[in-house]
Chain A
């Protein structure tokens, strides 16, 4: 109930028009990877999925941000069931990638922001390697590029009050790690897949 309501509110605030380009909503296991410009990105992307897909999708978010105060932890835990990753202390035998894989089991999907932090301008930063290791350890996961447009104007870095401008979320064609593909080459391919969605 709260989940549906919050998703509706998020869609109203972000005014998001959702486009599926060469891709259809599906409950198969996926990793949605998107550019990151605003704290609202995870929420907006999550709410733009159809309800039955949303139920199975967990956003990956930064622990330091989502554990502050009492609203954010409530939202993260009870509403969109976020997987909180500690960005400051990364343990060797409990790597974020292992945590993510454990969390999704064989039913859930993930939302990740491979830039690792919010980019300041419209240019998409280099991707961190997590996406590569996810793809390598679970080659069956569909990797879906997502481009989030205009959210940096709805809630820019360093602001806490959103302005209700219209944003646009574009889902692109799923991709996979190719046999023997080098890490840097794969990450660059993934990044350009997101960037390409901006123009379509």
Chain B
């Protein structure tokens, strides 16, 4: 049984998240059934929808963690592919791009995740930004249609970059060499869970990924709440009428506070955890902003409908995509490989 991704601290983290989600679900349902809260029912409905999406994400992640890092990488491959298909669906390409798109979906995307799974940093950090970025314009040129050529290349390249390359850095966290946890904690974990866990060497990595996902998601949530309660100064009304400076500061502030308190679950010192949370949420905010601009350009509100009435996968992972590479590189910088 490959349960080696888990140990005591991980279980504490997972338990904490489940409690948090449970509480949020309870509040959401309470608000829904109370007639006179004076709150906009649409806002409550959206809150509940977000919580449902998080449950789904959490369930998938928990399953992947329990089954090992290979499964986690495969899960992210699936997420990437789905996000990419939403991205490409909304950006009009032409018939001549069909073959280029085929290779993007069936060669470069799986290849990226295979390289992640083999932990070939030298390769997975360049295959898409160099080789795929050269291949795509060349393949389109060979197809012989020059109409809006640069625009079509850019669309496919940015889709591949954001949905596949950037997101793939999240599961890559599972392969970083991290300092071993202090012996006391490791021993406690090993004793408590000796019957189910053979060797919890990968547990710090699993927690690192979990920490990352948690801070990104909470950053989104806090930002949403701050916007609804305090939002005044809109950053760029033409891009998104919802994103305000108050929302940004509130989101980053709360998530950073949370990330700092959670330092014990990570290999970082408290101030490092704090800095990391700040960087993650800032990047996440930038990601949301960028995706809003793309959506605005295409004249849509949400990216897709995986489940009827829900926003698409890409709407849920946009901040993750932008934060993952930066978080990975900073962690690599703190713990040289």
Contacts and interface: CB of A to CB of B under 8 A. Distances in A.
Residue among B86, B98, B99, B101 facing the most chain A CB atoms (10 A cut-off): B98
B305 A163 contact: no
Contact of A159 (B85, B86, B89, B98): B98
Nearest to B93: A153
Majority secondary structure of chain A interface residues (helix, strand, loop or mixed): loop
B106 to A, nearest CB: 8
A27 B60 CA distance: 37
B304 interface: yes
A161 B304 CA distance: 23
A152 B94 CA distance: 10
Contacts of B101: 163, 165
A17 B81 CA distance: 17
Nearest to A159: B98
A161 B85 contact: no
B105 A166 contact: no
B81 A164 contact: yes
Interface band, chain A: 10 to 19
B85 A156 contact: no
B309 to A, nearest CB: 11
B131 interface: no
A77 to B, nearest CB: 29
B35 interface: no
Nearest to A155: B98
B333 interface: no
Given A17-B305, A153-B93, A163 B98 contact: yes
14 contacts: A15-B89, A17-B304, A17-B305, A17-B308, A150-B89, A153-B98, A156-B95, A163-B88, A163-B98, A165-B85, A165-B89, A166-B85, A166-B89, A166-B304
Interface of B: 81, 85-86, 88-89, 93, 95, 98-99, 101-102, 105, 304-305, 308
Interface of A: 15, 17, 150, 152-153, 156-157, 159, 161, 163-166
